[in-house]
Structure formats: C-alpha cells, structure tokens
Structure 1
Amino acid sequence: MSRLDSKNRPIIADINKKSPISEAYRTLRTNIDFSSIDHQIQVIMVTSPGPGEGKSTTTANLATVYAQAEKKVLVIDADLRKPTMHQTFVKTNRWGLTSVLAGQSPFAKVIAKTHIDNLDLLTSGPVPPNPSEMLSSKRLSALLEELRTQYDVILMDTPPVLVVTDAQLIAAKSDGVLMVIDSGKVKRESALKAKASLELVQARMLGVVLNNVDQRRNEDSYYYYYGTQE
C-alpha cells in the first residue's frame, strides 16, 4: 500500500508529492536540517498554543518528507490525553507508548510499520490516569536514548502548550521544538505565552509553522517556516 486509505486524515506529502503544500514541508525539513550546525537535531517535538491548529497534521507530513529523503523516521504520539496518530496511519491504539512506560510491553513489540517506507509509528496506547507523571519519568528518557540509536529522526506529537504541562515536560527531553500556529485563529498574546512557557524549561525553539496562511493566488493553505535567531 503506497497511500493512506483514510479519507478523514490524508497525508498530503504522501498523496500528492508535487503539491505546493508538499514542497513547503520539504522546505521546512531543509530549514530544520540547517537550523543548527553545532547541535544535532534528532528528537523534534511538535506542539501548538491551543487545540485544532494543525500540529498533528504537521507532524505526519514532516515525518513523511523525512522518510522520502531516505531517513529512518519514528513518529511518537505523545499526546496521551487526545491521541490521533493511530487514526492518521490507520493503526490500533490498544498498546503503545503508555504500555512501554508502564512496563507492560517492550517498545520493539509495539512500534508499527506504516504504509510509508522508512516511517514507523509508536502510538500513544491506552489513555492513562497520570499522563504528566509518565511523560516526566526516567523511563521515557531512557526510551528516547535507546530510540536515538535506531532512528535518524524522531518526531513527537504533543498536547497544546497552553492546555496542559505535558508539552513542557517533553520539550526538556527534545533537541528542538516546532510550534504550529493557526494564523487566523491564534492571537499574538497566546503565541508569545506559549513560547515563554517552553523557554522556561530551556526548550530549543526551531521555529514556527504558520498554518492557514491566506494566499490569494492559490487555493491551498501553505505552511511556512520562520527560523528563530539565537
């Protein structure tokens, strides 16, 4: 299978590789790769100030263009409260990240191959009663260190920054953070508040992805990357 069967959550970078949106994701990939010379960017966290801004869509498409560049990629659904990656890639969520962190299963048994070459998925697993405790655990840190030896790029989809503290916990374990912002929905104050929350845990901000940018000459929405300056 070369394409996603789900009509509800299509991965544009997989379905239409020549579309302007797919090209924008490839540009995003390139900018991330060149965003740091002295520091390796391997574990990337993707988040947003609030819900419904396109962070999960960005995660799936960015992972796809990395895989298309022959990188070995793992997507981790670290949104333990409202997971969606199992729906995007049409996989079961009966086990996953929470199963590993709870010591119920080794990660090798719950990581699933997707229909996209070079792209694997670790779903969230059953929703736990203590998401924040799991994400701040030493087990997650140890898991990420082990996964670093097996994958070129690890993308972590997380809950919105301003809703719960989960994103801050994961940011501290990541090499860099991408923030996805709906240009027509989020106010500047909310975006700055989210950025400040991540900076409190010394997160390395890679940049901002603006979603739903109005383009008069094109029908599609674009995703742009704005690198942050040190």
Structure 2
Amino acid sequence: MIGVIGRNHSAKSLLTDLNPKSSIAEGFRALRSNLNYKDIEAKDKVYLFTSSVSGEGKTFIASNLAIVFANAGRKTLLLGADLRRPKLYKNLDSDNAIGLSTILTGENSIEECTIKNIAENLDVIVSGPLPLNPSDLFLSENFENLIKDLKSRYDKIIIDTAPIGLVADAYMITKYSDVNLYVVRQDYTEKDVVRFVNDLYENKRIENIYLVLNDVSSGSGVYGYGKYGYGYGYGYGYGYGYGYGAYTKDSDYFNENQNEK
C-alpha cells in the first residue's frame, strides 16, 4: 500500500478549492512523497488510476494527485480515459464535446482538446463523447502515438480509467503506464479485491501496482490514525453528498453505458 486518504468532510473535492495547508492537501502531498521516494531515478511519467467497481474514488484521487504534482512544479496532464461513464469533465464543470475519444478518431488535435492551466502547471484532456468501441481505441496505434507525444510534452501524466473490475480498458492502458494505482475504499470495497490485486502483482499481470486506501475514518487506526494522533488528512470526496458525483455500486455499469447515446 502506497497511500492512505482520509474522509473528506468538506463540500469541496478539489485541492484548488481548499486551503493549501489543510489536512486534505497534506494527505495528497504525502501520497506524492511516497511516489517520489519509490521513483528514485525520476523515470516514472505515466500514472494510471483504476478501481474494482464504481464509487471507490479513483477520479477524485487522480485529480488531486495531478494538482499536487503541478504544485511541485511538474508540468502535469490529467487525462480522462474512462470512456464508459466519465465523471472528470463534470467535476471540472467542463464541456465533454471533444476530448480523448475525438483525438483518437482523428476529429480533433491534442491542442484543440487540451484545457489549459486548470491550475498552474496543470492541463486536462477530458474523455470526450462516448465511443461505441472504447477497447478498440485503446488498442489502436493512435493511442500509442498519443501517449508518446504527451510524454514529450509533460513531466507527469495522470490517467483516470474505467474500473478494472468491470471492463478491460485499464488492462490495455497498463502497457503504457509506469505506475498503476488501484483505489480501494474502506468499508466499501469487497475484501476479495485485495486478493485480486495481489494476484495481479504476483502473476505479473500488471507491473508496478500499488494500493491506495480511500475514505479512511479518523478513528480507524489505519496508518497512524486513532490513538497515535497522526493521519494522512481528509481526502475522500467521491459521492453525491459532497457534490462530486459517483457511480453506483452495481453490475450494470457496462450495460448502462451500452444504452447511452
């Protein structure tokens, strides 16, 4: 496990809207520090975020890690690669008419789809319209060429993907990622998921995979919480109650998206 993010009691969910000295900001800086410590030779550029099912907080954590990398002076891109049921554009109050999907189909250029300076040093490309064939797009030469191009432009690329427990898209993208971060949520994610992630690691189905535990309550005693009086801060904001939007935890994720126009 490489990071622990606590529960967010604020109505805000992005660090750009919060006090930089707040506990939530400190929690994400701790995650960034852990990743930097692991990345001794500073070669890691591409970070992929996924989860087992909807509602575990991957988009929230990906977005805020991108912000803290940018705050540290790294030229950073947040890439919305959930082409099933994207939420990133909603969190940014952005249009989703163009984005990753239209870049891959040749309808738009990278420049046309890049939302510049969401924060200092931070650009964003949202998912774009839902395609009929997301998996085909990720297997295409266009996607490979896109990642190569983006790596030449940015120090850090944070990719938000669809839940790996529901569709195979994230598996395909791991071919291009340096670090794979699997978000699990306390008292929400099934315990078998941890064994599943361990299997991915031990059988080398996904290289460089790490768990991030999300929505940790302050009294749980996990990673310094509880009687030791030290924590990673509050950092969970993935739910309708916090104005952030969430998937529902059910098995209809893929089927629902097949019916979306």
Question: Aligned partner of 1:136: which letter?
Answer: L
CA shift for structure 1 position 200: 5.1
Contact 1:13 1:65 in 2 (8 A): no
**Structural mapping, 1:50-199, within 5 Å:** 50-197=53-200
Moved over 2 A (4+): 7-10, 36-39, 194-203, 216-223
- C-alpha change, 1:141 and 1:61, in structure 2 (3 Å) is same
Residue correspondences, number = 216
**Structural mapping, 1:1-16, within 5 Å:** 10-12=13-15, 14-16=17-19
Report the secondary structure of 1:173's partner residue.
coil
- C-alpha change, 1:81 and 1:120, in structure 2 (3 Å) is same
CA shift for structure 1 position 114: 4.0
Query: Which stretches in structure 2 are left out of the alignment for 5+ residues?
Result: 1-9, 220-225, 237-261
1:213 maps to 216
TM-score normalised by length of structure 2: 0.76
Q: 1:204 aligns with which of 199, 203, 208?
A: 208
| Amino-acid identity (%) | 32
Question: Aligned partner of 1:72: which letter?
Answer: K
Deviations 1:38-81 (A, max 9, x none): 57110000111111000000011101111111111100000001
Report the secondary structure of 2:153's partner residue.
coil
- C-alpha change, 1:135 and 1:196, in structure 2 (3 Å) is farther
CA shift for structure 1 position 191: 2.9
1:44 matched to 2:47? The reply is: yes
2:257 maps to none
- C-alpha change, 1:110 and 1:55, in structure 2 (3 Å) is same
Question: Aligned partner of 1:102: which letter?
Answer: T
Report the secondary structure of 1:40's partner residue.
coil
Contact 2:138 2:173 in 1 (8 A): yes
- C-alpha change, 1:212 and 1:192, in structure 2 (3 Å) is same
CA shift for structure 1 position 204: 1.7
Q: 1:30 aligns with which of 26, 30, 33?
A: 33
Deviations 1:69-125 (A, max 9, x none): 111110000000111111112211100000010011111111111431111011101
Report the secondary structure of 2:118's partner residue.
coil
| RMSD (Å) for aligned C-alpha atoms | 2.3
C-alpha separation in 1, matches of 2:54 and 2:185: 10
Contact 2:15 2:67 in 1 (8 A): no
1:228 maps to none
* Bigger Rg, structure 1 or 2: 2
Deviations 1:143-177 (A, max 9, x none): 11111111010000011111000111111211110
Question: Aligned partner of 2:30: which letter?
Answer: T
Query: Which stretches in structure 1 are left out of the alignment for 5+ residues?
Result: 1-6, 224-230
C-alpha separation in 1, matches of 2:136 and 2:61: 26
C-alpha separation in 2, matches of 1:13 and 1:29: 16
